[in-house]
Amino acid sequence: MSSPERWEAKQLIASGVMSVKEYPMFDEDGDGMLYQEEGAEEELEIELNEDEPAFLQGQSRYSIDMSPVKIFKNPEGSLSRAAALQSALIKERREVREQQQRTMLDSIPKDLNRPWEDPMPETGERHLAQELRGVGLSAYDMPEWKKDAYGKALTFGQRSKLSIQEQRQSLPIYKLKNELVKACHDNQVLVVIGETGSGKTTQVTQYLAEAGYTTKGKIGCTQPRRVAAMSVAKRVAEEIGCRLGEEVGYAIRFEDCTSPETVIKYMTDGMLLREILIDEDLSQYSVIMLDEAHERTIHTDVLFGLLKQLVKRRPDLRLIVTSATLDAEKFSGYFFNCNIFTIPGRTFPVEILYTKQPESDYLDASLITVLQIHLTEPEGDVLLFLTGQEEIDYACQCLYERMKGLGRNVPELIILPVYSALPSEMQSRIFEPAPPGKRKVVGSLIHWLSKSTPSWANKDFKALISAMEQLYSLELWMKRVSLQVGYKLDVVSAGKNFSKIRKAIAAGFFFHAARKDPQEGYRTLVENQPVYIHPSSALFQRQPDWVIYHELVMTTKEYMREVTVIDPKWLVELAPRFFKVSDPTKMSKRKRQERIEPLYDRYHEPNSWRLSKRRA
C-alpha cells in the first residue's frame, strides 16, 4: 500500500465512513498509522560469525599471541635506521621528480590571448596553439637515457669466434647427450638438475627432437618470463638453422609466433595453463618440459598438479622438470619418486665479494660500484638487481647523468632496464651484445620467488589458521557436492532462472560479499575495506545494496570486477558458519563503527563551514 493510499484509508476511518475491522493492518496505538504489507522487505543486518570452531578452540588468532618469539623494536638499531634512511631517500627522490614535473607544467602559458592583445609584448611571449600542442604530455615522453639506449637494431646471441656447432659442443650437457636421451626414453617423468649455463633450456629440446620425439607431437618448454621465452626461441632457431616461427616458435601473452610446422615451442607457464584448460590431455604434445621449476610461480605450481594427473592418463607423454638448485629430492618425491639426472660442471665461475662495512644508501653504493667496474675492470657486462621499477628508472637516469659528466674520454656505457611493464621488444634489447670497447649494464628486478625459504608454509601459522577456517566454512558445500555425486543425481539446468545462478555464485564467493556504504561506495563484509564498482560494469549506475565480486583491481581506487547482485539472506543460508544475522536487540559492530558526517556544500571543502576555516 502506497503512502497516498494509507493517508486516504486513515481519513476514511477517522470520518467513520470505513470501519477499522476492514483494515486489519491499522495500528490504533500508533496514532492511526498503518503497518506495511507483509511482503515488504525488512533491512537485514549481516555480520561475521566469530564463534570459534571446535577444532580451533584455544588455538585461534583471537585468543593468544601465537608467536613464540617476542619482538623488541629498537628505533636506534642499525637495521631500523637503515630502513628509515632508505624510506626518506626514496621519498626525497619522488618529491624531486614530482617537483620537476610541476615546474614544467607551470611553465606552460595559461592565457594565449593576452600576449596577442598586448601591443608591446615581450620577445618570445606570443605562442601559437600549434606550438604548445602536446607540451602537457611531455611528462609521459620517453626520457633522454631511454632514447639513447633504444636507437639501434636488434641482434641476438653472444658474439663468439666459435661457430654455432662448436658453441653447442662446449656446453657441459653435450657430453651427456646420449645418457640424457636414454633417461628420457626409460622414464616417463625425469628431473634434470644443472647449473645456469649448462645448456638445459636450449639443448634438451633439440636432443629430443633429433631422437624422433617430434613425430608423435610437439615438444613444449615453459619459461617463467616472456623475455626468456622469446630469447631462447630465437637462439634455438638460430642453432637449428630455421626462421623463427617455423620449426621453432614461441607463444607469449598477446603474441603467438608459431605455425603448423612448429615442433619445438617455447612459451610462458601461463600460456601452457591456458592450453591445458582447453585440451586437458595436451594431445598436441609428446614432451612437456617445465624449465626453471625452482622459481615456483603460481602458474608453475598449478601445472605441477595438472601434469601429475595427466601423466597417469597418458603413458606416452614425457615430462621433464629442470631446476638450477638442489631441490631435486623434493621434485622427485612429488612426481612418484622419479629418477634424477644431474649435469655436472659450471659454465660461468662465480666469485663473491662483500662490502667491508654496511652501506647507508645501497642504491648510491651500487651505482658507484657499477662505475668502478666500468672504469677499472676488463670487458664484460654488468647486471644490477634492484627492488622495483621506480628504483630501476632512477638508477638508469643517475648512471646516464654521471656518465655524461665524465665526458667523452671514458668508454661508453649502454644502460638498459628490464621489467615486466616494458614492451617485449625493449626487454629483448638486453640480449644484444655490446659493441667492442663498450660495456652494457642491465637494471633488473630481483626475483624473490627464486629465493625459496625452507618450511615457510609450515610455519606461517596465521595463514594456516585462515586456510583451516575457510575449509571449515566450505565443509557444508562440499558435503552437498559429494551427496550429488554419490547418489548420481542428474544436473538440471536453471534455464532463465538467474536467481539460482547468482545464488550458486554466492555459494562459492561468499568471502567476496560487499554492502553499500551510506557515505560512498561499498564495504566488504570480511575486512570492512572500502571498494567501488568498476565503471565498466553494468551495475555502475544502479548501485545495488548487496553484491558479490570476483576480484579487486587497484587503479585510482579499489574497484570490484565481475559484480552481481545478491540477496543478503543467501549469505546466512549458504554459509551459516561464516555469517549470521545480527541480534536485533544489540547494536552490530558495523553500526558501532559508523559516524555521523555533517552535510556540506558540494562545491566547497568538507570543513569549509567551520568557524576556524572562515577566520582563516
The answer on pLDDT for 453 being more than 70 is no
The answer on pLDDT for 33 being more than 60 is no
More confident residue, 496 or 65: 496
Are residues 349 and 380 in contact, defined by beta-carbon separation less than 8 angstroms? no
Which of 168-177, 260-269, 500-509 has maximum average pLDDT?
A: 260-269
558: alpha, beta or left? (left if phi > 0; alpha if psi -120 to 50)? beta
* Lowest mean per-residue pLDDT among 123-127, 211-215, 388-392: 123-127
Under the banding of pLDDT at 50, 70 and 90, the label for residue 440 is confident
| pLDDT score at 39 | 41
Q: Which of 558, 547, 464, 465 is nearest to 509 (CA)?
A: 547
**Residue-by-residue DSSP string for 73-95:** --TTSHHHHHHHHHHHHHHHHHH
Sheet containing strand 264-268, strands side by side:
255-257, 248-252, 264-268, 218-223, 285-290, 318-323, 189-194, 339-343
C-alpha cell at position 40:
515488504
| pLDDT score at 44 | 76
Residues 616 and 267: their CA atoms lie apart, in Å, by 63
Query: H-type helices in 385-487, by residue range?
Result: 389-406, 424-427, 456-459, 461-473, 475-486
| pLDDT score at 211 | 92
The answer on pLDDT for 389 being more than 80 is yes
Are residues 231 and 352 in contact, defined by beta-carbon separation less than 8 angstroms? no
More confident residue, 127 or 557: 557
Q: Which of 455, 451, 450 is nearest to 295 (CA)?
A: 450
Under the banding of pLDDT at 50, 70 and 90, the label for residue 101 is confident
pLDDT digits (tens, 9 = 90+) for 113-150: 666 666 766 666 666 556 555 555 544 456 777 777 66
* Lowest mean per-residue pLDDT among 80-89, 195-204, 545-554, 600-609: 600-609
Q: What does the domain layout of the chain look like in residue ranges?
A: 1-40, 164-343, 370-450, 489-616
| pLDDT score at 275 | 93
Which of 264-278, 339-353, 426-440, 479-493 has maximum average pLDDT?
A: 264-278
Residues 383 and 417: their CA atoms lie apart, in Å, by 10
The residue written with cell numbers 657499477 in the block is: 370
What average pLDDT score do residues 274-283 get?
A: 91
Q: Give the rounded percent of residues in the chain with a pLDDT score beyond 70.
A: 75
| pLDDT score at 38 | 41
Domains 164-343 and 370-450 share a fold: yes
Mean pLDDT in the chain? 79
The answer on pLDDT for 156 being more than 50 is no
The Cβ of residue 278 has, within 10 Å, a number of other Cβ atoms equal to 7
What average pLDDT score do residues 363-385 get?
A: 89
Residues 278 and 206: their CA atoms lie apart, in Å, by 27
What average pLDDT score do residues 3-13 get?
A: 78
Residues 301 and 475: their CA atoms lie apart, in Å, by 24
What average pLDDT score do residues 419-444 get?
A: 76
Q: Following CA atoms 119, 124, 126, 130 in sequence, which dihedral angle do they give, to the nearest 10 degrees?
A: 160
| pLDDT score at 447 | 56
Long-range contacts of 10-17 (CB under 8 A, 24+ apart): 10/34
Fold (topology level) of 370-450: Rossmann fold (3.40.50)
The answer on pLDDT for 349 being more than 80 is no
| pLDDT score at 284 | 93
Under the banding of pLDDT at 50, 70 and 90, the label for residue 582 is confident
The Cβ of residue 501 has, within 10 Å, a number of other Cβ atoms equal to 13
Residues 579 and 217: their CA atoms lie apart, in Å, by 51
More confident residue, 392 or 326: 392
Q: Which of 448, 436, 391 is nearest to 418 (CA)?
A: 391
First to last CA, the chain: 53
The residue written with cell numbers 595453463 in the block is: 273
* Lowest mean per-residue pLDDT among 8-12, 22-26, 95-99: 22-26
What average pLDDT score do residues 95-124 get?
A: 71
| pLDDT score at 347 | 56
pLDDT digits (tens, 9 = 90+) for 226-271: 888 998 999 999 999 999 999 999 999 888 999 999 999 999 999 9
| pLDDT score at 321 | 93
pTM value > 0.75: no
| pLDDT score at 378 | 86
Question: Would you state the CATH architecture of domain 164-343?
Answer: 3-Layer(aba) Sandwich (3.40)
| pLDDT score at 135 | 55
The answer on pLDDT for 205 being more than 80 is yes
| pLDDT score at 450 | 46
Residues 576 and 569: their CA atoms lie apart, in Å, by 10
| pLDDT score at 600 | 62
